[in-house]
Amino acid sequence: MSSESPAPDSVVEQRKQRAEAWFTELRDRLCGEFERIEDELVGINAARLAYTPAGRFQYTPWQRDDSSVADPGGGLMAVMHGRVFEKVGVNVSTVAGHFSENFAQEIPGTEATSGFWACGLSLVAHPRSPHVPPAHMNTRHIVTGKHWFGGGADLNPIVAHEPDTRDFHAALKETCDTHGDDYYDRYAAWADDYFYNKHRGEPRGIGGIFYDYLDSGDWEADFAFTRDVGLTFLDIFPRLVRRHMFTPWTEKERAYQLFRRGRYTEFNLVYDRGTRFGLQTGGNPDAVLMSLPPLASWP
Amino acid sequence: MSSESPAPDSVVEQRKQRAEAWFTELRDRLCGEFERIEDELVGINAARLAYTPAGRFQYTPWQRDDSSVADPGGGLMAVMHGRVFEKVGVNVSTVAGHFSENFAQEIPGTEATSGFWACGLSLVAHPRSPHVPPAHMNTRHIVTGKHWFGGGADLNPIVAHEPDTRDFHAALKETCDTHGDDYYDRYAAWADDYFYNKHRGEPRGIGGIFYDYLDSGDWEADFAFTRDVGLTFLDIFPRLVRRHMFTPWTEKERAYQLFRRGRYTEFNLVYDRGTRFGLQTGGNPDAVLMSLPPLASWP
């Protein structure tokens, strides 16, 4: 992590506001797209859910409880239980406070202050069909004594479709290549390393990209990259959903989906950095654990 | 933790063998009792599972992989998918090796050596009926530079039945009182503290007892207490199962059961000491995570 000379407070404040405005805009565009997909379901997969209407997002605000700061923040959970999406959550949260002494040791820029500000969007989609891949995307801006962006997107197919893997990685690579020659190689490798169930000795899915502590010295460039990661996901993931949402599935594929969701749950509760950050900073547990699947099995 | 004067190696070896023989005998008695319960199911709860035969345990051995010791050990998983018990696992494992440097810092008796030997029985029962309480029991003997017993038993009702809570605690209290005046108060409080989902601010169930690092200075007495905890569970839990196994349940109760199992999963993956010990010491992940429910939901 390199750094520009420290920005005046007014610039830092303006950047926080721009980041939050972007995450909110991206949330609205993602939720709109997912609701359109809900409306588009026809055929056998709609018929087997004859009495289930197309899903719509439900919005639940939450406040963070912390008397150490004037505005501890909170967030807005957007969750939809639909026909194509058995459960999909898109959370935007903006929080500020002070890290616990132990947790501060894991975070850059906490030498002089334990104060933090963080804003981010997290998305987890658990489709009903085992042919439609579950996906995760998160982007965030964090300010301590330092400031950086982080995020990533990864795909967790149940029934493997090789073209999905290829197209998902190609889309991320194209975006990465626009912003930094080595971004794709580094961030795809980081995703492979990060999205890995060590105790099982197996990857969570087919990867994607993961980045953290991104401060190139050019805040505008880093913010632009982070926006593009969100836009890339907004483009590629709905394409993969529409590719498979009409395909019928078998009970055996459904059982395997529930089993794979168990492994997904293991990753999120044992390793996930965002989950850990949320629970360590007094986040709303329902918002932090929104990522967990609607139904999972350990047979 | 107080301590006798160090026992000669031959005595330590004999104790290890006696502990392992006990855990194996207890396993056989528990599995036998659970299979008898499977045979006893009649009435509507048998009829709705008309084609499901009474369950029987399947036994799967596993070996621990560790070249640092001559015999790294392993275990035997016993798992039954039955009619009364949707999933019940009873594992006995005997492992030996060396702790990682980090993990050793959390364990007593590792100043002079990182070597350990551990043998224990763990049991987790996930009944099919929301009226039959899920239960957990574990007892273990651990030898490092020190030696101690640990264990506990707790009940996690879905549909609350007050007499169950009363009888479960009364049985444990009677056993505790035989072995130490303050055992019940201390170990019941420890269970309340331990079996608690901090991030949710809620207990996992209605408690029971939990103890660890038990070395009173009298190995025989500590071993006798540990045996009695197992025998108490072998007596009280089947009585609670038989009390409720014939009661019909509703879909709403079933849905709530799956939701509560989600919370149970959160505890085991985020906090459980045995899970952490198992994964940190290279245990078989299927055996370590045998405790996870056959089906769980995060609605």
Asked whether the beta carbons of B184 and B172 are under 8 A apart, the reply is yes
CB contact under 8 A, B296 and A297: yes
Query: pLDDT tens across B20-55, in order?
Result: 999 999 999 999 999 999 999 999 899 888 778 999
User: Residue B97 phi/psi, 5° resolution?
Assistant: 170, -150
Fold of B9-291: oxygen-dependent coproporphyrinogen oxidase (3.40.1500)
CB contact under 8 A, A297 and B299: no
Partners of residue B294 in chain A, C-beta under 8 Å: 297-299
Active-site positions of A read 136
pLDDT at residue number A177: 98
Check whether A250 has a pLDDT greater than 90: yes
Smallest CA–CA distance, residue A59 to chain B, in Å, is 15
Among chain B residues, the shortest Cα distance to A280 is held by B199
**E strand intervals along chain A:** 58-63, 73-80, 85-98, 115-127, 135-143, 147-155, 196-197, 202-203, 208-214
Active-site positions of B read 136
User: Residue B162 phi/psi, 5° resolution?
Assistant: -55, -40
pLDDT at residue number A9: 85
**Residue A194: which residues within 8 A CB-CB, separation 6 or more?**
A152, A210, A271, A273
Domain extents in chain A: 9-291
Q: What average pLDDT does this structure show over B222-236?
A: 98
CB contact under 8 A, B270 and A266: no
The better pLDDT of the pair B278, B57 is held by B57
Query: pLDDT tens across B127-155, in order?
Result: 999 999 999 999 999 999 899 999 999 99
Region of residue B171 (left: phi > 0; alpha: psi -120 to 50; beta: else): alpha
pLDDT at residue number A246: 96
Radius of gyration of chain A (CA): 19
pLDDT at residue number A3: 52
Partners of residue A295 in chain B, C-beta under 8 Å: 258, 295-297
Average pLDDT, chain B: 93
Partners of residue A299 in chain B, C-beta under 8 Å: 81, 87, 294
Radius of gyration of chain B (CA): 19
Average pLDDT, chain A: 93
Q: Record the tokens describing residue B28, joined without a space.
A: 């056989």
Residue B158 CA neighbour count, 13 Å, CB half: 28
Percent of chain A with pLDDT over 70: 98
| ipTM of the prediction greater than 0.95, yes or no | no
Among chain B residues, the shortest Cα distance to A267 is held by B269
Check whether A1 has a pLDDT greater than 70: no
Query: pLDDT tens across A163-200, in order?
Result: 999 999 999 999 999 999 999 999 999 999 999 999 99
Give the closest of B292, B293, B298 to A292, CB-based: B298
Partners of residue A297 in chain B, C-beta under 8 Å: 293-296
pLDDT at residue number B281: 77
- In this structure, of A205-219, B54-68, B152-166, B227-241, the range with the lowest mean pLDDT score is B54-68
The better pLDDT of the pair A48, B281 is held by A48
**Residue to substitute from A62, A65, A197, A199, interface B, most B β-carbons within 10 A:** A199
The three-class DSSP label of residue A176 is helix
Q: What average pLDDT does this structure show over B91-117?
A: 88
CB contact under 8 A, A299 and B298: no
Among chain A residues, the shortest Cα distance to B272 is held by A270
Q: Record the tokens describing residue B143, joined without a space.
A: 């030898």
Among chain A residues, the shortest Cα distance to B200 is held by A285
Smallest CA–CA distance, residue B197 to chain A, in Å, is 11
pLDDT at residue number A48: 87
Strand (E) or helix (H) holding B73: strand B73-80
The three-class DSSP label of residue A77 is strand
CB contact under 8 A, A297 and B297: no
CB contact under 8 A, B296 and A294: no
Check whether B280 has a pLDDT greater than 80: no
Give the closest of B258, B288, B298 to A289, CB-based: B298
Give the closest of B200, B288, B296 to A296, CB-based: B296
pLDDT at residue number B112: 82
Asked whether the beta carbons of B275 and B268 are under 8 A apart, the reply is yes
pLDDT at residue number B70: 86
Task: Please give the torsion angle defined by the CA atoms of residues B297, A95, A230 and A270, in that order, rounded to the nearest 10 degrees.
Answer: -40
CB contact under 8 A, B298 and A294: yes
Query: pLDDT tens across A123-163, in order?
Result: 999 999 999 999 999 999 999 989 999 999 999 999 999 99
CB contact under 8 A, A298 and B298: no
Smallest CA–CA distance, residue B60 to chain A, in Å, is 15
Query: pLDDT tens across A102-116, in order?
Result: 888 888 888 888 889
CB contact under 8 A, A279 and B200: no
pLDDT at residue number B95: 93
Give the closest of B199, B269, B292 to A279, CB-based: B199
Count residue pairs from A and B with Cβ separation < 8 A.
55
What is the C-alpha to C-alpha distance for residues A97 and A112, in angstroms, rounded to an integer? 14
Check whether B4 has a pLDDT greater than 60: no
Give the closest of B200, B295, B299 to A285, CB-based: B200
